[in-house]
Amino acid sequence: MKLCIACGMPMTKPADYPLGDESKDYCIYCARPDGSMQSYPEKLEGTTDFLIRTQGLDRQAAHAAAIRTLAQLPAWQGIQKTMDTPSGD
Amino acid sequence: MKKTVRELQKEQTKELLLKTAYEVFSKKGIMNTRVSDIAQAAGVSHGTIFVHFRSLEAMIEEVVALYGQKIAMRTHVLAQSSGSLSDLLHAHLGGIMEFEPFYTRLVIENRLLPPGARDSWISIQSAVSFHFSLVYEREFGHNDRSGILLHMLFNMWMGLVHYYLQNGDLFAPEGNVIGRYQDILVDSYLKLLKGGRAEK
């Protein structure tokens, strides 16, 4: 079983993959409609919104938690260093 | 590349330390545990611990990350076959039950733990909230007349479960909160949810 490189979700069945393509290393929730992988800013925004929508976290706390949890994942290694700008929100 | 005997031994010792720390944390509490407690339980010297972990704080972060992943993964596997919200809530509790003493320590102590452990806590909750949102929207989403926001429903459920675990000494002194209250927790929550909908 693979873990999504961009969010860590376990991928156990074809429906977990973008367009059902099991050769991909990222999951359907980290893909754009055309099957390509979302960018870091897209994923950061999506993760922040997910934490707010499903757990009700404060926006700033959710944003900070999203940055820290994404930093643990293979797809985003080194990304933050290149995007190391102060958050606007 | 093939690992040397020495490398394999080092890995085995680290695995032993992580497992032992998990057991000691479950029993004594995380913040209440000293390095010497883990060393003694694992049958290694105090110094051996620091060959593998730079500090007790780093060890706590690693144990919580590892077992947090296991709990999240178990929840995910059980939740995947959940057709209804009732199935999902039982799956959630089933995932916790396998790790109940340790999970209870996390419920009680997570605000006091090092930042990395706090992040692992959020990840465990995200595995649940992800499935909760999918199942809830599938079952009630198009016909939700309760007017209660999704995250409030989720937090009400978590608040209920965590309250029972946090006060487990009062609800189930034998140490089996989930096993004893699983059905009544799920049934009561669903009745409230459905009752609230019916009144609107």
Nearest to A55 among B76, B77, B154 (CB): B154
Per DSSP, helices labelled H in chain A are 40-55, 59-70, 79-82
Does A54 lie at the interface with B, CB-CB under 8 angstroms? yes
Nearest-angstrom CA–CA distance, B78 and B72: 10
Nearest to B73 among A10, A51, A55 (CB): A10
Instruction: Give per-residue pLDDT as tens, B146-182.
Output: 678 999 999 999 999 999 999 999 999 998 999 999 9
CATH of domain B1-53: 1.10.10.60
Beta carbons of B172 and B181 less than 8 angstroms apart: yes
Over 50: is that where the pLDDT of B56 sits?
yes
CATH of domain B56-199: 1.10.357.10
Tens place of pLDDT per residue across chain A (89 aa): 889 999 998 898 899 999 999 999 999 999 999 999 999 999 999 999 999 999 999 999 999 999 999 998 999 998 765 665 554 44
Token pair listed for B170: 């009062």
Name, in order, each residue with C-beta under 8 angstroms of A75's C-beta and a sequence gap of 6 or more: A5, A6, A25, A26, A30, A37
φ/ψ region of B171 (left if φ > 0, alpha if ψ in -120 to 50, else beta) reads: alpha
Alpha-carbon torsion (A19, A23, A26, A32), positive or negative: negative
The distance of A56 to chain B (nearest Cα, Å) reads: 5
Nearest-angstrom CA–CA distance, B96 and B103: 7
Q: In A, which residues are within 8 Å of B122 by CB distance?
A: 51, 65, 69
Domain boundaries, chain B: 1-53, 56-199
